[in-house]
Structure 1
Amino acid sequence: MLARPTSRLVARRTLRAPLLGATATAMLAGAAFTGPAARAPAPDRAPDHSAARAAMETMVRSGVPGVLAEVRVAGGPDDGRTEPRTEPRSGSHAGSRTGDTRSHPGDHVWHAAAGVTDIRTGRPRRPAEHIRIGSLTKTFVATVVLQLQAEGRLDLDDTLESRLPGLVRGHGHDGSRITVRQILNHTSGIYNYTEDPRLARRFFTEEFLAHRFATYPPRRLIGAAMAHAPLFPPGTGWSYSNTNYVIAGLLIEKVTGRPYAREIERRIIEPLGLRATRLPGTDHRMPRPAGRGYTDYSAGAGARRHDVTELNPSQAGASGEMISSVGDLNRFYRALLRGRLLPARQLAEMRTTVPVDRTGSMAYGLGLIEWRLSCGTTVWGHDGGIQGAVTSVTATGDGDHIAAFTANAHGDIDHRALVEAEFCGSGQVGSRPLLPLLTSGSRP
């Protein structure tokens, strides 16, 4: 969440694809709406994750303290094989690794770690760790908004002014011209509050250390955005704006009469049994087990690494406050893509995308990113960054092959090599990005 795009992305016209499937009727919140898609035949051997393993270790050698992964492949063989496990020596930071390949009923599951979760003690990373997930929060928020649409309680073409009167006004912003759909797919033109110079200094420089426990009410963040001109007229371009999802959180509260956090809990977290997933609000603490999170505020060999594990996540709010685990994230995105959380019509709306850049390698739906990889595979998911962590989840369209990666550092961390390695068998960690990364980028 709290990082800006690596470059100003080209404004593109909004594209609308037709809905897929029949219109869904309003249903009870949190229900399983559709059955799972038919599974592919089980492969005769375990999937190969060696390229992903190599990419993780390269990332650690480049300076990231630790990388953690969970990959699930449906229909995997029941071979029960386990990779050799190597524990790091005390104080060993780079090159320490763990790996575990297991067969769960109907799934091949691969857990892997490189580097450490705590640079002081040398403790290795573990799959059960709680992690800050940043902008992956947006997919949870968009799912609730689409559930409310399915229940007939709002429409994606409702204007913000009709739902939240007076909230989006100032310096050319006009909520009467911006729809719910446009805040979910970032075509609203609303200024990104994390680009506000004063807030950017507090979030992305050493000034953060003096304000890490400060509380930022949603309307304060939105007010910072309203102090600037919009980026473009609504629906005429695309630009990633965290403000959009802070507004979406208030929209959920207005429609339901309950905090958006409670709606995510009762509609998603509780039905799916996501035991590591929570919305901390203003609580700065991390639940156990958890590792440490680090940020460098300057580049170069002499850069000081700061432990930023504890922070008040209200700076992100509905755009990126959540805590989860790699296992919970895979369960959530697989359930979403397989239709357990949304009716067919709403899932099709979520997967109706607009172009993000000129390359055509990435498009954005409603809280969901579509990546087109170098090998021709298309994956869906989201990425997210907040101080101390960068995380991504990507999956094939049916959810059969799904991968969650997280690094315990924030800054110019690029997970695209990991995604390419897992789904295409190749990936290079370096300064040249393989794909545009939305939410983890340069600091001011």
Structure 2
Amino acid sequence: MTTHALPRTLIAVALAGAVAATAAAPVSAAPRAASHRSTHSPHSATQDALDAITRGGTPGVLAGTDRAGEVWHGTSGVADLRTGRPRLPRDRFRIGSLTKPFIATVVLRLAAEPGSGLSIDDTVDEWLPGLVRGNGNDGRRITLRRLLQHTSGLYDYIDDDGFRAKFTGPAFLSHRYDGATPEELVRTALAHKPLFGPGDGWSYSNTNYILAGMVIEKATGNSYASEVERRIIRPLGLRGTTVPGTSSSVPGPHGRHYSRLYVDDPAARVHDVTDFDPSVSGASGEMISTTRDLNIFVRALLRGELLPPAQQREMFTGHDLGNGRSYGLGIRSQTLKACGVKVWGHSGEIPGSLTRTAATADGEHVITINRNSDWGDPALEQAAVEAEFCG
């Protein structure tokens, strides 16, 4: 994991396995679209920070803000290295681990419904009997709360050497459409000993949310995708948000998604990875959305429009991570050093896309930033958040 203001989730790091068959031109050769700026805009510092991101090598960046109903969009760089098409406010993109707050919200909504029979203090074994066993792993000791807060101790399947050998580096190009089932991903994780006993520590693990998605399906008899759509996407009118399953394409409009295939070399060739099977991310990071939709969702969540008060308190009770950061149930907080403002949100990384959403506790001020690449200095993204909230 890289370190962020709201630390970037490894999220499906190499996870989603797929890259378009052809390689794009090196970033340094990319045509540049003009940034969208207003001379006297209150967002001029944010725009400057977006321009710094593209100067740092990201092909294109898009930001959308909503402050007390005043909506602003900023862009820099390009959506397509070949055509030079600029990024557009309506562009859809893969959001990686920003899927996690959606999944956590569904689990908490189920916990609020007496008829569901679900409590976040139920064990994984009560819902998925015998699934999490072996190598010191024991689902009888792991609660749903510990899954959602990453205190289960379960190994993150994306750190498995075999998984990485298949979905990072040049092999990624050959396996981009392979996909994986939740059961396969869990078996990959359980081949490793836990990092610590349940509740004895904190470690970000995508395995937790693969299991949470399986619990949703067991509790409802429906796919977690259909529950996310029924309980969140449709009620909030999130027109650009989808849960793609095994579909490899991104619905339009969208820019291209670019990757160096996680090769640690700034001169590594850039590949177009827009199309791939995201089932290797599953409930931990497969969703697609827009800046508008993510801002609407996070604002509604913070305002208590999606959860009853008891579940709202559970979600936003954070596990202290130090340095002004905490992790609740599927959502992070950070106190910005530049001005002391506390923001809540999440971040997401998946091949070809880095996304971050941050909002004040009252939901009145929110920003979503997306880069169409999976590399770049996270300090530049942090600077954009600080510029927006600390101006």
Question: When the two structures are superposed, what TM-score results if normalisation uses the length of structure 1?
Answer: 0.77
Q: Is the 8 A contact 1:390 1:413 kept in 2?
A: no
Q: Is the 8 A contact 1:353 1:366 kept in 2?
A: yes
The answer for the alignment partner of 1:271 in structure 2 is 235
C-alpha distance in 1, partners of 2:383/2:260?
Answer: 21
| 1:149 equivalenced with 2:143 (yes/no) | no
What SS does the corresponding residue of 1:331 show, helix, strand or coil?
helix
Gapped runs of 5+ residues in structure 2?
5-39
| 1:335 equivalenced with 2:297 (yes/no) | no
The answer for the alignment partner of 1:95 in structure 2 is none
TM superposition shift of 1:202 = 2.4
What SS does the corresponding residue of 1:340 show, helix, strand or coil?
coil
Q: 2:91 aligns with which of 110, 129, 136?
A: 129
Q: Is the 8 A contact 1:5 1:240 kept in 2?
A: no
Structure 2: which amino acid aligns with 1:387? P
The answer for the alignment partner of 1:350 in structure 2 is 315
Structure 2: which amino acid aligns with 1:351? F
Output aligned runs, 1:38-53, within 5 Å. Answer: 48-53=42-47
Query: Percent identity over the alignment?
Result: 52
Length, aligned pairs only: 350
Distance 1:194 1:412, change over 3 A: farther
More helix by share: 2
C-alpha distance in 2, partners of 1:182/1:388?
Answer: 30
Q: Is the 8 A contact 2:58 2:376 kept in 1?
A: no
C-alpha distance in 1, partners of 2:3/2:158?
Answer: 13
Output aligned runs, 1:204-223, within 5 Å. Answer: 204-223=168-187
Output aligned runs, 1:83-102, within 5 Å. Answer: none
What SS does the corresponding residue of 1:176 show, helix, strand or coil?
coil
The C-alpha deviation readout for 1:206-234, integer Å capped at 9, x for no partner, is 21111011120000000000000000000
| 1:63 equivalenced with 2:26 (yes/no) | no
Gapped runs of 5+ residues in structure 1?
8-45, 75-106, 426-444
C-alpha distance in 2, partners of 1:252/1:194?
Answer: 22
The C-alpha deviation readout for 1:295-322, integer Å capped at 9, x for no partner, is 1133445320111000100010000000
C-alpha distance in 2, partners of 1:225/1:248?
Answer: 14
| Larger RCO (alpha carbons 8 Å, 6+ apart) | 2
Deviating more after overlay: 199-208 vs 212-221: 199-208
Distance 1:164 1:299, change over 3 A: closer
The answer for the alignment partner of 2:7 in structure 1 is none
TM superposition shift of 1:411 = 2.8
Output aligned runs, 1:270-309, within 5 Å. Answer: 270-297=234-261, 298-300=263-265, 302-309=267-274
Structure 1: which amino acid aligns with 2:277? N
The answer for the alignment partner of 1:85 in structure 2 is none
What SS does the corresponding residue of 2:198 show, helix, strand or coil?
coil
Output aligned runs, 1:108-257, within 5 Å. Answer: 108-152=70-114, 153=116, 154-257=118-221
What SS does the corresponding residue of 1:118 show, helix, strand or coil?
coil
Structure 2: which amino acid aligns with 1:283? S
C-alpha distance in 2, partners of 1:381/1:405?
Answer: 12
What SS does the corresponding residue of 1:110 show, helix, strand or coil?
strand
Larger Rg belongs to = 1
| 1:420 equivalenced with 2:361 (yes/no) | no
The C-alpha deviation readout for 1:268-311, integer Å capped at 9, x for no partner, is 00111111101000000110101100011334453201110001
TM superposition shift of 1:203 = 2.7
TM superposition shift of 1:145 = 0.2
C-alpha distance in 2, partners of 1:418/1:61?
Answer: 13
The answer for the alignment partner of 1:91 in structure 2 is none
TM superposition shift of 1:420 = 1.3
The C-alpha deviation readout for 1:340-376, integer Å capped at 9, x for no partner, is 11011111100001022x42x2110000101111110
The answer for the alignment partner of 2:334 in structure 1 is 371
Structure 2: which amino acid aligns with 1:61? R
The C-alpha deviation readout for 1:186-210, integer Å capped at 9, x for no partner, is 0000000000011122233221111
C-alpha distance in 1, partners of 2:41/2:257?
Answer: 31
TM superposition shift of 1:174 = 0.3
Question: When the two structures are superposed, what TM-score results if normalisation uses the length of structure 2?
Answer: 0.87
Q: 2:352 aligns with which of 378, 381, 388?
A: 388
TM superposition shift of 1:72 = 0.5
Structure 2: which amino acid aligns with 1:70? G
The answer for the alignment partner of 1:319 in structure 2 is 284
The answer for the alignment partner of 2:21 in structure 1 is none
